[in-house]
Amino acid sequence: MGTTTGIAALGEVMQLAFVPDDFDAAVKHWTETMGAGPFFLIENIHLDGMKYKGAPTDAVFTLALAYWGDIQIELIRPENDAPSIYSGEYAATEGVHHVCILVDDIAKARRVCADQGAEVVIEGKFGSSEVIYVDPGQGTGHLVEILQQDPDGPDLFGLIKQAGENWDGSDPIRTFD
């Protein structure tokens, strides 16, 4: 086996993200047909210091997160039309919008992406976690989210995954209380 290089060397894809035309119908499909869930809803997110192609943006979005086995499913609903990866040239509906890789070192991830010619198209912070979305050159549907979570923060992904273990289909949409 060869050594993994390029963006793939940063880690494994842990998430498939979608921007569906009908958010509620997508949640229903993923919970009832695919068996993923429960989904945890996080509404009206605006990343701290959010920039789209280097310029500040007021983009706001809502997301729902669940697990389908070991893969996280993210459903996104843009809440406004501010410049972002959810409108304009990166708008994608019904197909995969982006994938996500978790990293320990976002600065290293930025260097690897720059070496591969992958442009950072959006960046910001969610609490103390830093995130970048890069375009490795294929445009819509090929974005890669790279997230460095705060190791001292709450393990939201772990809580969501645990809620899906032995999930009986009840209460398919939840919030963090």
- Say what percent of the chain tops pLDDT 70: 97
pLDDT at position 1 is: 52
pLDDT over 80 (residue 94): no
φ, ψ of residue 2 in degrees (nearest 5)? -85, 170
147/125 Cα distance (integer angstroms):
9
At 130, list the tokens: 């830093």
- Closest-CA residue to 8 (of 150, 144, 157): 144
| Global pTM value | 0.93
CA distance readout (Å), 134 to 56, 120, 121, 139, 145 = 16, 4, 6, 10, 6
What are the chain's domains? 11-164 (3.10.180.10)
φ, ψ of residue 149 in degrees (nearest 5)? -80, 150
Q: What is the pLDDT of residues 71-80, one digit of tens each?
A: 999 999 999 9
The per-residue pLDDT of the chain, averaged, comes to 92
CA pseudo-torsion sign 70, 108, 141, 43? positive
Q: What is the pLDDT of residues 128-175, one digit of tens each?
A: 899 999 999 866 667 999 999 887 777 889 999 999 999 999 999 999
SS3 helix, strand, coil % of the chain, rounded to 5? 20, 35, 40
pLDDT at position 46 is: 94
At 58, list the tokens: 């007021």
- Say what percent of the chain tops pLDDT 90: 79
Kindly report the number of other CB atoms within 10 A of residue 59's CB atom: 23
Residues found in the chain:
177
